[in-house]
Structure 1
Amino acid sequence: MAQAHRDGVLDGFGARTLSARLASLALQQAGCERIASTPLPYVYSLLIYRTTYLYCLLLPLALVGPAGWLTPLFVCIVAYVFLGLAEVSEELSQPFGDNINALPLDAICRAAEIALASHLGREPPPPLLPKDFHFG
């Protein structure tokens, strides 16, 4: 960028705007690196699971009067929902992985490459397409 500015390819306003964009990109990258390198504290997941198990163990005592013999069915439904939410939160705590629920970073980068190719005078690469309804 500095060389382009010295060569007169980039004027002062363009250099200032590009510099601000690069600074913003660097801040976003630093934020993503902090997210990727900071694990979810074990105590959070422990609290979620213990609270879920305790609630599911005590729920039959509250439902046995009003629900009668349907109590086990209601408790199973509630336990499925809460334990499913706990698993989803564990899965989403690592958004930059290679698993099926991670962000499709390769596809996002390819979209940026396609958008920038014409500005750089290059042939745009083909977009990445999902396989079995996900990028993986």
Structure 2
Amino acid sequence: MIGEQIYKLLEERLTAFTAVQVACERIGSTPTPFTYTLLIHRTAYAYCFLLPFGLVSTMGWATPLFTVLVAYAFFGLDALGDELEDPFGDHPNALPLLSLARTIEINLLEAIEAQEVPEFLRPVDSLLT
């Protein structure tokens, strides 16, 4: 039988876990508005197109090099935002939820000193699922 204090602690942990799960489901099911994505793309293109005109008087011949570096950073951040938009998917950069769940399962089974403990998941083709 579970004591009253342990039951209360267990209920608090379960409530916190449920709140985290709801937050993750909200993140996973909320799409990024198309207008936001469009605005980010157009702003990056406009900034990178107009940047050389603002720098040419101070940077001289180094203007193209600096503009390319800034454009690389802007479009890299834009691509990073696209990848992070769906953290729970099946693509290579998604969170390895199965591996995380297996690790938690192993830790819990070791804590209760279970006889059979599953193996950790190994990467397949350098990807951890």
- CA displacement at 1:95 relative to structure 2: 0.9
Distance in 2, matches of 1:13 and 1:67, equals 69
2:117 to 120, 124, 129: 124
Report % sequence identity. Answer: 45
Distance in 2, matches of 1:54 and 1:106, equals 41
Q: Which runs of 5+ in 1 are unaligned?
A: 1-8
Amino acid at match of 1:59: L
SS of aligned partner of 2:93: coil
- Counterpart mapping for 1:4-43 below 5 A: 9-43=1-35
Distance in 2, matches of 1:43 and 1:15, equals 48
Distance in 2, matches of 1:90 and 1:14, equals 44
1:102 to 79, 94, 99: 94
Task: Give deviations 1:35-68, integer Å, cap 9, x for gaps.
Answer: 1101112222112111111100101101222222
| Root mean square deviation of aligned Cα | 1.8
TM-score (ref. length: structure 1): 0.84
- 2:59 pairs with 1:48: no
- CA displacement at 1:130 relative to structure 2: 3.3
Distance in 1, matches of 2:126 and 2:64, equals 35
TM-score (ref. length: structure 2): 0.88
Distance in 1, matches of 2:115 and 2:30, equals 38
